[in-house]
Amino acid sequence: MEPIRQVAVMCVARAVSFGTLAIVCVMVSFAFSPPAAFRTGAVLSLVMAIILLLKAHYVGWQQPKHTEVWLYLDERTRPRDAEATRRFTSVLREVYGRFAAGTLLVACGLFAVSVLMLAAGMELHGFERGVR
């Protein structure tokens, strides 16, 4: 089961890395207002965590042959019977859940930084109400 876990971690980590790159790019576009940048990063990180949780939930309905992990496994480590498929599914569910928990932790940290910046007196420039 260890080769499956290693490949699953690699595949999910790569997907999360690309998502993180996209989130950082959006945060940089809000450089004019650091609190807004961190708040935006937090919201987008929450969206990524929700997607990872949904992937973890629905991995049981997905055929192992239709996963990216399956493509990277050699013939001898691919699940062949029902028990191996069940273990494969549980490993994927655990890996998705672990990355979702980490992403949620990052989102909470980004929200905390945003709140601290607002508490320190920084403003959300460009987001004032009634400004035309």
- Burial 82-96, CB ≥16 within 10 A → b, else e: eeebeebbebbbebb
Q: For 72-110, what is each residue's pLDDT tens digit?
A: 888 888 888 888 888 889 999 999 999 999 999 999 999
Query: Domain residues for 114?
Result: 2-119
Q: Is residue 125 part of a domain?
A: no
Q: Is residue 67 part of a domain?
A: yes
**Could you give the CA distance from residue 118 to residue 45 in angstroms, rounded to a whole number?**
20
Q: For 52-75, what is each residue's pLDDT tens digit?
A: 999 999 998 888 888 888 888 888
Q: Is residue 108 part of a domain?
A: yes
Q: Is residue 126 part of a domain?
A: no
Q: Is residue 115 part of a domain?
A: yes
Place of tokens 């708040």: 39
Q: Is residue 14 part of a domain?
A: yes
Q: Is residue 63 part of a domain?
A: yes
Q: Is residue 131 part of a domain?
A: no
**What domain count does the chain have?**
1
Q: What is the pTM of this model?
A: 0.86
